A and B are shown apart, each in its own frame.
Chain A
Amino acid sequence: MSDHNHPTGIKRWLFTTNHKDIGTLYLWFAFTMFLLGGSFAMVIRAELFQPGMQLVDPLLFNTMTTMHGLIMVFGAVMPAFVGLANWQIPLMVGAPDMALPRMNNWSFWILPFAAILLLISSPSYGWTFYAPLSTEYAPKDTLAFFIFAVHLLGFSSIMGAINIIATILNMRAPGMTLMKMPLFVWTWLITAFLLIAVMPVLAGAVTMMLTDVYFGTSFFKASGGGDPVLFQHVFWFFGHPEVYIMILPAFGVVSQIIPTFARKKLFGYASMVYATAAIAFLSFIVWAHHMFTVGLPTAGELYFMYATVMIAVPTAVKVFNWTATMWRGSMTFETPMLWAIAFVFLFTIGGFTGLMLGIAPADFQYHDTYFVVAHFHYVLLTGSVFAIIAGVYYWLPKWTGHMYNEKLAKLHFWLSVIFANVLFFPQHFLGLAGMPRRVPDYSPMFADWNMISSIGGFVFGATQLLLLYIVITTIRGGAKATTQVWEGAEGLEWTVPSPAPYHTFEVAPQVK
Chain B
Amino acid sequence: MSVIKTMKMLSSWLAAILLFGPAIALADYKLNMTPGVTEISHEVFNIHMLVLWIVTVVGVVVFAVMIYSIINHRKSKGAKAAHFHESTAVEVIWTVVPLVILVALAVPATKTILKMDNMKDSDINIKVTGSQWKWQYEYMDEAGLKFISNLAEASNKARALKSGIDPRTVENYLLDVDEPMYVPIGKKVRMLIASTDVIHSWWVPALGMKRDAIPGYIRQMWFRADEEGIYRGQCAELCGKDHGFMPIVVHVVSEAKYKDWVAAKKQLMAAGAGADDKTFSKEELLAKGQQLYNTTCAGCHGVEGVAAAPIFPNMKGSKIATGKLADHLAMVIHGSKKNPTMTAFGKQFNNLDLAAIITYERNAFGNNTGDVVQPATVKAAR
CB distance A364 to B209 under 8 Å? yes
**Given A330-B74, A332-B76, CB of A441 within 8 Å of CB of B174:** yes
Q: Which of B70, B109, B209, B245 is within 8 Å of A359, CB to CB?
A: B109
Instruction: Pick the residue among B113, B159, B216 that contacts A222 (CB under 8 A).
Output: B216
Bitwise interface map of A from 323 to 348 toward B, beta carbon under 8 Å scored 1, else 0: 11111111111000000010011001
Known contacts A298-B113, A331-B74, A445-B29; is-contact A361 B43 (Cβ 8 Å): yes
Q: Cβ of B95 and Cβ of A317 under 8 Å apart? A: yes
A494 at the interface (CB under 8 A from B): no
- Asked if B263 is at the interface (CB within 8 A of a chain A CB), the reply is no
Contact with B along A341-367 (1 / 0, CB 8 A): 100110011001001100111101101
Contact A295 B212 (CB under 8 A): yes
B14-73 residues with Cβ-Cβ distance < 8 A to A are 15, 18, 22, 29-34, 40-41, 43-44, 47-48, 51-52, 55, 58-59, 62-63, 65-66, 69-70, 73
Interface of A is mostly: helix
Q: Does A271 count as interface, using CB distance less than 8 angstroms?
A: yes
Say whether A406 faces chain B, with CB atoms less than 8 Å apart.
Answer: no
Q: A57-B161, A133-B240 are in contact. Are A293 and B210 (CB under 8 A)?
A: yes
Q: Which residues of chain A come closer than 8 Å to B158, judged between CB atoms?
A: 52
Q: Judge if B283 is at the interface, Cβ distance under 8 Å.
A: no
Answer yes or no: A284 CB below 8 A from chain B CBs. Answer: no
**CB of A137 within 8 Å of the partner chain:** yes
Question: Contact between A268 and B85 (Cβ–Cβ < 8 Å)?
Answer: yes
Distance between Cα atoms of A294 and B40 in the complex (Å): 18
Does A52 lie within 8 Å of B66, measured CB to CB? no
Q: Is the pair A444, B167 in contact by a Cβ cutoff of 8 Å?
A: yes
Interface size for chain A: under 10, 10 to 19, 20 to 34, or 35 or more residues?
35 or more
Q: Is the CB of A312 within 8 A of B102?
A: yes
Q: Which residue of B lies closest to A310 (CB)?
A: B102
- In the complex, A505 has a CB within 8 A of chain B: no
A51, A130, A222, A302: the one within 8 Å of B168 (CB): A51
CB pair B69–A323 under 8 Å, yes or no, is yes
- Residue of B at shortest CB range from A66? B238
Residue B271 lies at the interface, judged by CB distance under 8 Å to chain A: no
Using CB atoms, name the residue of chain A closest to B25.
Answer: A429
The reply to whether A229 and B238 form a contact with Cβ atoms under 8 Å apart is no
> Is B317 part of the binding interface, using a Cβ–Cβ cutoff of 8 Å?
no
- Give Cα distance in the complex from A197 to B219, angstroms: 32
Given contacts A53-B162, A313-B98, contact A137 B212 (CB under 8 A): no
User: Looking at the complex, which one of A137, A301, A310, A369 makes contact with B240 (CB distance below 8 Å)?
Assistant: A137
Asked if residues A333 and B4 are in contact (CB atoms below 8 Å), the reply is yes
**Is there an interface contact between B175 and A368, defined as CB atoms closer than 8 Å?**
no
Interface size on B, residues (CB 8 A): 107
Query: Is the pair B48, A365 in contact by a Cβ cutoff of 8 Å?
Result: yes
Q: Evaluate contact between B34 and A434: CB separation under 8 angstroms.
A: yes
Closest chain-A Cβ to B11's Cβ sits at a distance in Å of 8
B234: interface (CB < 8 Å):
yes
Name the CB-closest residue of A to B82. Answer: A328
Q: Which B residues are CB-close (under 8 A) to A54?
A: 161-162
8 Å CB contact of A330 from B73, B99, B159, B172 = B73
Q: Are A359 and B243 in contact (CB under 8 A)?
A: no
Query: Which residues 264-296 of A have a CB within 8 angstroms of B?
Result: 264-271, 293-295
With an 8 A cutoff between CB atoms, is B256 at the interface?
no
Interface pair B75/A331, CB less than 8 Å apart: yes
User: In whole Å, how far is B22's beta carbon from the nearest beta carbon of chain A?
Assistant: 7
In the complex where A51-B167, A349-B59, A362-B44 touch, is A137 in contact with B110 (Cβ < 8 A)? no
- Tell me which of B48, B159, B210 contacts A367 (CB under 8 A): B210
Residues in B whose Cβ lies below 8 Å from that of A449 = 30
Are A331 and B240 interface neighbours, CB within 8 A? no
| Residues of A with C-beta under 8 A to B86 | 267-271
Closest to A320 in B: B94
B195-222 Cβ-contact flags toward A at 8 Å (1 or 0): 0011101010100111110111101100
Residues of A within 8 Å of B83, CB to CB, are 264-265
Q: Are A360 and B113 in contact (CB under 8 A)?
A: yes
The docked-state distance in angstroms from the alpha carbon of A349 to that of B58 is 11
- Tell me if A326 and B70 are in contact (CB < 8 A): yes
Assess whether B79 is interfacial by the CB under 8 Å rule: yes
Interchain CA distance A316-B84 in the complex, whole Å? 20
Q: Quick check: is B244 within 8 A (CB to CB) of the other chain?
A: yes
In the assembled complex, A83 has its CB within 8 A of some CB on chain B: no
Q: How far is the CB of B277 from chain A (nearest CB, A)?
A: 33
Q: Which residues of B contact A356 (CB under 8 A)?
A: 48, 51-52, 55
Q: How far is the CA of A39 from the CA of B378 in the complex (A)?
A: 50
Least CB separation from A314: chain B residue = B95
**Per-position 1/0 for B299-319, Cβ under 8 A of A:** 000000000110100000000
CB distance from A24 to the nearest CB of B (A): 33
Q: Note all chain B residues with C-beta closer than 8 A to A428.
A: 22
Measured between alpha carbons, how far is A349 from B63 in the docked complex, in Å? Answer: 10
Nearest neighbor of A351 in chain B, beta-carbon distance:
B55
Tell whether, in the assembled complex, residue A329 and residue B30 are in contact, meaning their CB atoms are under 8 Å apart. no
> Which residue among A262, A317, A332 has the maximum number of chain B CB atoms within 10 Å of its CB?
A262
**Is B87 interfacial (CB 8 A cutoff)?**
yes
0/1 interface trace, chain A 222-243, chain B, CB 8 Å (1 if under): 1100111100000000000000
| Chain B residues within an 8 Å CB radius of A309 | 102, 105-106
Q: A265-B83, A295-B212, A361-B116 are in contact. List 14 more A-B contacts (CB 8 A).
A: A130-B198, A265-B85, A268-B86, A326-B73, A328-B81, A328-B84, A330-B74, A331-B70, A331-B73, A356-B55, A359-B109, A434-B34, A439-B243, A445-B30
Provide a sorted-by-A list of 7 A–B residue pairs whose CB atoms are within 8 angstroms. A133-B199, A229-B214, A295-B219, A313-B95, A328-B84, A365-B210, A441-B174
Ordered nearest first, which 6 A-B pairs have the shortest CB separation? A222-B216, A439-B244, A352-B55, A361-B112, A265-B85, A328-B82
